[in-house]
A and B are shown apart, each in its own frame.
Chain A
Amino acid sequence: MSDAMMAEPRLSQISPSGIDVPVRVGPSAIDTDAIGEPGAYPFTRGIFADGYRGRLWTIRQYSGFGTAEESNERYRFLLNRGQTGLSVALDLPTQCGLDPTEDMARPEVGKVGVSLSTLAEAEILFKGIDLSRISTSFTINGTAAIIYAMYLAVADKQGVARSTLTGTIQNDILKEYVARGTWIFPVRPSMRLIADSILYSNRETPRFNPISIAGAHVRDAGATAVEELAYTLANGLAYVDELLRRGGDVTQFAKRLSFFFYVHMDFFEEVCKFRAARRIWARLLKERYGVTDPKAQHFRFGVVCGGSSLVAPQPYNNVVRVAVETMAAVLGGAQSIFTCALDEAYQIPTEFSAELAVRTQQIIAYESGIGRSVDPLGGSYFVEQHTDQIEAAVLKVMQEIEDYGGVEKAIEEGWIQMRLAERALQRKLDIDSGEKVIVGLNHFRNPDEINTPGEVFSLDPLAAGRVIERHQQVLQTRQQSAVDRSLQRLANVAAQDGENLLPYLVDCCHAYATVGEMVSTLRTQWGEFHEPVRL
């Protein structure tokens, strides 16, 4: 251990995003016009005038593993413990558009999420869960349009009206190219698929969020809070432009755009990030696109607390981290919160740790009282000035991306990816040197500490076999001619640029076409993304 780690650390004057933070801020720092009122443009203080008094944030835990049966059981457990929305984790084959029987898929079946290779799996996953009452969020991107189509098909089967469906698909491919890696098709056809699903969703499932433009993964990969917001807003604008190109009405589709962020440990940087985000987005929509409907100017977002801020050494410290981050999310005005479990740094949470994560939110919601008044930090000299500083820094990074030629070019050429890798290296070196303090990891280590809690979650090693078995059964029992017909129609529509693809994907799902078949059909028409590898 180096000397830096042994010494008592000092409070840094520079925030993690590189903002110089003054030790004192006075009344002259405040620009009252820019702040505004809660529920009013530019929404710095929140999108609703009554904050959480009108409606609490959604407690939504990311969960899913193994077979549809096991995940269904975990969902019922979480709903039973007071969770108010589902968040479905899908396995990598489903995310990358491979069937569980394919060579590349086999080692990953059911590992980081549940396998949804056909409608048959989705029917089991949502068995006994009333989709008209529970909102469901899917962390799905490369195959988002397909999984959304499958969700509609399940709702149809359950007899639930599509118009009542609520939930979210992540459907944000741009950040996949940068940080999360589940891209399939090149940028252009991927953007079409996203625009098609958003426009279709606006008509068929008007209460559903067909996209959640996400900064969390970029952040996890090393971006600062400022870069997280800048990259995400830049991606958001790229989607708006694409939707306009495909004939969308911005006042309509902008109401259903949602966002997703990380909350890390630097408390005020996070609170101010969300306050700045609302203001920047509202102004961009008004000034750049002429949007005047306040609902279409609203910046609605969910968050995840924990993630890369959690560490394996002294794992119980993570409970405290998640609590602090959750408070920042609430004071920042988040619409939904996912709290990571204390063991999330190294495994799928156990039932104990998953429950504790839900309880953390409930304690903050119902005992702490911090949600009682809207934006209680509003008007603080420091908070308002820091919000302004973050806003300026974010706009600067967004300008750099525009100067490069826009996000699509920056991604295709690997420029953002390279910036991120350099940032991640720097962050890692700062942690290694002890300059960035992480309690229990690079400071305040205890020679005889316990590094993992006793209970360990383990996946059923036979689950993947059961998934593959049922997949093969579906292939044998479905009506092959209906599958072939629906895939052929999908291919025809994909070959031209005009028609919306979604009705055809829903038909494929109803016919029990597999995710792999639908993706192969589209890949034949569109090709694959060529990953730029720059280091």
Chain B
Amino acid sequence: MTTTESHNTSRTAAPLLRGRRILVAKPGLDGHDIGAKVVALALRNAGAEVIYTGLRKSPQYIARVAIDEGVDAIGLSILSGSHCELVAQVVERLRESSAQDIVVFVGGTIPAADHSRLQELGVRGIYTSDMPLEQVVLSVAQSLN
């Protein structure tokens, strides 16, 4: 795990997220991490302090890191089709620790049919690879303000 200092070198976004801490995490076994890294870089470029977990983390681990690091939001990247189960588990772990105020957003291969289920779980943003990064950053910023 690494913590990256926030700095504003963005081509795409104003420093909307200055002073915010965001955990980008890969729950489950899916190894496709480039989307997570691209979003992490974009959030960092927009002023956030971004922590990236690395691959194959359990929901317990992700919730614990989020709480220990005092993050404002968790971005979960899932491309294996297991998003509903994994998001539910992360949200449950946060709730158990009374940390449900941490904003959760999800990126990856997320079929439209599953959006309402994820929203019911409390997910504040759902992002797919087709979406412009600027829009993703803006949406994350709005969900934090």
Residue positions of A touching B, CB distance < 8 A: 92-93, 95-96, 98, 103-108, 111-112, 176, 179-182, 220-222, 311-313, 346-347, 420-422, 424-425, 428-429, 432, 441, 452, 456, 459, 531, 533-535
B81 adjacent to A111 (CB under 8 Å): yes
Contact partners of B32 in chain A: CB under 8 A: 180-181, 221
Given contacts A96-B56, A535-B44, contact A346 B11 (CB under 8 A): no
Is B142 located at the chain interface by the 8 A CB criterion?
A: no
Secondary structure type dominating chain B contacts:
loop
- Across the interface, B28 reaches (CB within 8 A) one of A104, A179, A221, A425, namely A104
Interface centre among A104, A107, A111, A112 (most CB of B within 10 A): A107
Chain A nearest Cβ from B11, distance in angstroms: 6
Given contacts A428-B38, A535-B50, contact A108 B111 (CB under 8 A): no
A104 adjacent to B56 (CB under 8 Å): yes
Given contacts A432-B134, A441-B130, A533-B2, contact A176 B31 (CB under 8 A): yes
Chain A nearest Cβ from B10, distance in angstroms: 10
A424 adjacent to B28 (CB under 8 Å): no
- Across the interface, A93 reaches (CB within 8 A) one of B2, B29, B89, B111, namely B29
Interface centre among B28, B50, B128 (most CB of A within 10 A): B28
B111 adjacent to A221 (CB under 8 Å): no
A104 adjacent to B2 (CB under 8 Å): no
A104 adjacent to B80 (CB under 8 Å): no
**Interface range for B:** 35 or more
Contact partners of A428 in chain B: CB under 8 A: 38, 133
Contact partners of A221 in chain B: CB under 8 A: 32, 34
- Across the interface, A92 reaches (CB within 8 A) one of B11, B54, B80, B113, namely B80
Measured CA separation A428–B136 after assembly (Å) = 12
- Across the interface, B81 reaches (CB within 8 A) one of A424, A432, A459, A533, namely A459
Given contacts A441-B130, A533-B54, contact A95 B41 (CB under 8 A): no
B29 adjacent to A98 (CB under 8 Å): yes
Chain B residue nearest to A441 in the complex (CB): B130
Q: A424-B38, A456-B111 are in contact. List 12 more A-B contacts (CB 8 A).
A: A92-B28, A179-B34, A181-B31, A181-B33, A312-B128, A347-B111, A425-B41, A429-B12, A432-B133, A533-B53, A533-B54, A535-B44
Chain B residue nearest to A92 in the complex (CB): B29
Contact partners of B4 in chain A: CB under 8 A: 535
Residue positions of B touching A, CB distance < 8 A: 1-2, 4, 11-12, 28-34, 37-38, 40-42, 44, 50, 52-56, 58, 80-82, 85-86, 89, 109, 111-113, 128, 130, 132-134
A313 adjacent to B130 (CB under 8 Å): yes
B29 adjacent to A104 (CB under 8 Å): yes
A108 adjacent to B29 (CB under 8 Å): yes
A424 adjacent to B130 (CB under 8 Å): no
Measured CA separation A312–B52 after assembly (Å) = 27
B130 adjacent to A312 (CB under 8 Å): yes
Chain A residue nearest to B134 in the complex (CB): A432
A533 adjacent to B1 (CB under 8 Å): yes
Q: List 16 A-B contacts (CB under 8 A).
A: A98-B29, A104-B28, A112-B81, A181-B31, A181-B32, A181-B33, A312-B128, A347-B111, A421-B41, A425-B42, A432-B12, A432-B133, A456-B111, A535-B40, A535-B50, A535-B52
Chain B nearest Cβ from A446, distance in angstroms: 15
Measured CA separation A222–B35 after assembly (Å) = 10
Chain B residue nearest to A141 in the complex (CB): B31
Contact partners of B128 in chain A: CB under 8 A: 312
A108 adjacent to B41 (CB under 8 Å): no
B34 adjacent to A420 (CB under 8 Å): yes
Contact partners of B29 in chain A: CB under 8 A: 92-93, 95-96, 98, 104-105, 108, 182
B109 adjacent to A346 (CB under 8 Å): yes
Chain B nearest Cβ from A412, distance in angstroms: 14
Contact partners of A421 in chain B: CB under 8 A: 34, 37-38, 41
Chain A nearest Cβ from B142, distance in angstroms: 18
Chain B nearest Cβ from A358, distance in angstroms: 23
- Across the interface, A107 reaches (CB within 8 A) one of B34, B38, B82, namely B82
- Across the interface, B80 reaches (CB within 8 A) one of A112, A179, A420, A456, namely A112
Measured CA separation A312–B112 after assembly (Å) = 12
Interface centre among B44, B50, B85, B130 (most CB of A within 10 A): B130
A432 adjacent to B34 (CB under 8 Å): no
- Across the interface, B54 reaches (CB within 8 A) one of A220, A459, A531, namely A531
Chain A residue nearest to B4 in the complex (CB): A535
Chain B residue nearest to A311 in the complex (CB): B130
B37 adjacent to A424 (CB under 8 Å): yes
A92 adjacent to B34 (CB under 8 Å): no
Measured CA separation A111–B78 after assembly (Å) = 12
Chain B nearest Cβ from A172, distance in angstroms: 13
Measured CA separation A243–B112 after assembly (Å) = 47
Given contacts A96-B56, A346-B111, contact A111 B80 (CB under 8 A): yes
Contact partners of B52 in chain A: CB under 8 A: 533, 535
Measured CA separation A346–B109 after assembly (Å) = 6
Chain A nearest Cβ from B93, distance in angstroms: 13
Measured CA separation A313–B38 after assembly (Å) = 21
Contact partners of B89 in chain A: CB under 8 A: 107
Chain B residue nearest to A111 in the complex (CB): B81
Chain B nearest Cβ from A417, distance in angstroms: 8
Contact partners of A429 in chain B: CB under 8 A: 11-12, 133
- Across the interface, A111 reaches (CB within 8 A) one of B12, B54, B55, B82, namely B82
Chain B residue nearest to A110 in the complex (CB): B81
Contact partners of B81 in chain A: CB under 8 A: 111-112, 459
Measured CA separation A452–B86 after assembly (Å) = 25
Chain A nearest Cβ from B118, distance in angstroms: 14
